[in-house]
Amino acid sequence: MSRKLKGIAAARGVAIAPIVHFHATLDHIPTWKVSEDAIEAERARLSGAIAGVTASLLELQRELAGSLGKHDVRIYDAQLAILHDETFRRDVEAEIAQYRVNLEVALQRVIARYEAVFAAMENPAMRERAADLRDIGRQLVGTLLANARQKYTANGADYLFAAEEFLPSDAGILDRAHIRGIVTAHGGKYGHGAILARSLGIPAVVGIEQIMLESSTGTTVVVDGDAGLVILDPTPTELADYERRGREQRAIDRRIAEVRFQPAVTPDGVHVQLLANVEGVRDLDALEVDVISGIGLFRTEFAFMERRQFPTENEQVAMYRRAMEGAKGKPVTFRTLDVGGDKPLGYFRMPEERNPVLGWRGIRLCLDWPDILYTQMRAILRASALGHARILLPMISTRSEVVRCREVLDQLSADLKATGVPFDPQIELGVMVEVPVLVPVLPDVLSVADFVSVGTNDLVQYLLAVDRDNQRVAKMYDPFHPGVLRVLQQIAGMANAAGKSVSICGEIAGDHWFTPILVGLGYRELSMAPVFLPRVKLMLRSFTVAECQDLAARAVAMQSTSAVRKLVQDEIQVRWARQLGAPEETRR
């Protein structure tokens, strides 16, 4: 009898193969007392270990360069940065000198302290940076003990990787010609291991705590990277179903390739703007500007979070100009600094809050510290001289917040004009709808805002009162809830009635099963992670606007989430499968 284990969907796709357990090889770490005259020798060992791991990472980066995108291969740059961080080195050396412990123990202690800092962060993307630290520690200690991990040879047989977690260095030991899927006990969809799995096209499910206990090497397993499901010892019926889905997936890939450079237009000729979400200038290298309508969300906070102090105005101008140049004349929407809550700045002391996600964050923080807002807005204005820039305000809950930001923008524009500094006088100021209370007062806000962008990640979370990163309640986070759809319909209706552009920039914009419903609700701009653009475009080309409106009207009128999902399964997924020439519906 089959057993089903639910985890977190980290990389799309379906895989079927025998599972192979991989274990960390550093079970025993030697411990000894270091005399004062031996401290320098331990420092020399640290230098040697760093050099050894650096050489290994550079070799792995070169090896994977042909398989990974330009952006994803830079994951190893992040690890190299940790290795060569002077603070990290000083902390390890201080641990040796102060407590007279050997290097292996010092590394474990320092990395454990660093991990604790990341683990306390609310932002899942930042929490998962702790995995990079563990990986670096494992590599350093392995080098010190001359205990390098051996490359796994599958002897020509397909297999699934199973472990406590999948770390970036694990890519170096895998037989990548025969790996079919990844399943881990820990990790999240934002970790570097998950990013690598997606970039390598390997289906992955993470966060199944019992996977190493419930399975054994050789067990036949299905990894459903779409649903976040792992099936141990699948039945013949389940195997046949997933084998069919694998064939359908290959059909999807072929069809996507056909429409890659075709316009994002419905069969009846209505264009929908498909835009990209980016986290910083480094994302621009991998961005195919020719297939997007612009950058719908430039998350400026990541540049702030990577620094040890606030970036100066000129540093910000250089960054924003780089984004404008990378967009090649297409619009770029810069979201103002959205830190606080789940995205703290290490160099900016913030008060402890019982519920930081509902606390001092986003525009609330920036209005309380106007120097931050002034500097950033002035930098964006200066960069706007190169093209079409837009400013997006996060965490807005009242009209007065927008009015204050408009006053700042007007004052800065006047100052730049008076001093002869070029900028775009038509620059737009928009609001992000993510706080539910903004919805009923949106008509008032639209009188002082130029456009609207719906941040569905937080909006849905707040509407449903569900923390989507809490595994105990994450299953209740479902944007197909009829109440959520009705709110999205209200937002689009009010924005369209006011003649203001309205977009979706949350995760559902990149969910192709949602595409016909969003178009039917009145959205003509969708901004998403670039990896989702091809599927959304293909889905968009499958439904007329009238069909989208009919689907949306019926979905909004339904009384349960399950009814909406049945509509998606019976009509949207069936049409999708027919478009691909598949015999049955593609299931999520």
- Exposure of 104 in the CB half-sphere (CA atoms within 13 A): 16
Query: What backbone torsions phi and psi does residue 19 show, to the nearest 5 degrees?
Result: -90, 145
The alpha carbon of residue 116 and the mean position of all alpha carbons in its chain are separated, in whole angstroms, by 22
Alpha carbons 540 and 262: distance in angstroms, whole number: 11
Distance CA 246, CA 249 (A): 5
**What DSSP line would sit under 542-575, residue for residue?**
TS-HHHHHHHHHHHHH-S-HHHHHHHIIIIIHHH
Contacts of 516 (CB under 8 A, 6+ apart): 539, 542, 543, 547, 548, 551, 552, 572
DSSP secondary structure of 55-110: HHHHHHHHHHTTTS-TTGGGHHHHHHHHHT-HHHHHHHHHHHHHH-B-HHHHHHHH
Q: How many CB atoms lie within 10 A of CB 523?
A: 27
Whole-angstrom Cα distance, residue 584 to residue 576?
10
245 in Cβ contact with 22 (< 8 Å): no
Number of H helices, E strands in the chain: 22, 16
Instruction: Based on the residue annotation, tell me whether 505 is a catalytic residue of this protein.
Output: yes
160 CB contacts (<8 Å, ≥6 apart)? 15, 17, 18, 19, 20, 179, 180, 181, 182, 183, 221, 223
* CA distance to 127, 434, 463, per residue, from 454 (Å): 25, 6, 13
Catalytic residue among 366, 405, 505, 548: 505
Tokens of 437: 């209370």
Among 579, 478, 560, CA closest to 267: 579
Instruction: List, edge to edge, every strand of the sheet that includes 229-232.
Output: 3-6, 229-232, 220-224, 14-21, 159-163, 179-184, 204-206, 8-11
- What number of other Cβ atoms are within 10 A of residue 486's Cβ? 14
How many Cα atoms within 13 Å fall on the side-chain side of residue 238? 19
Contact at 8 Å (CB) between 503 and 527?
yes
Burial 209-235 (b: 16+ CB within 10 A, else e): eebbeebeeebbbbbbbbebbbbbebe
| Largest Cα span, the chain | 81
| Residue 576, helix vs strand vs coil | helix
For residue 18 the two structure tokens come to: 């025998």
* Contact (CB, 8 A) for 322 and 330: no
| Catalytic residue chosen out of the listed positions 192, 366, 405, 481 | 192
Which class for 368: exposed (0-12), middle (13-18), buried (19 or more C-beta within 10 A)? exposed
Distances (CA, A) of 86 to 56, 82, 450: 20, 9, 46
Distance CA 89, CA 95 (A): 10
* Residue 548 is among the residues annotated as catalytic for this protein: no
Catalytic machinery residues: 192, 505
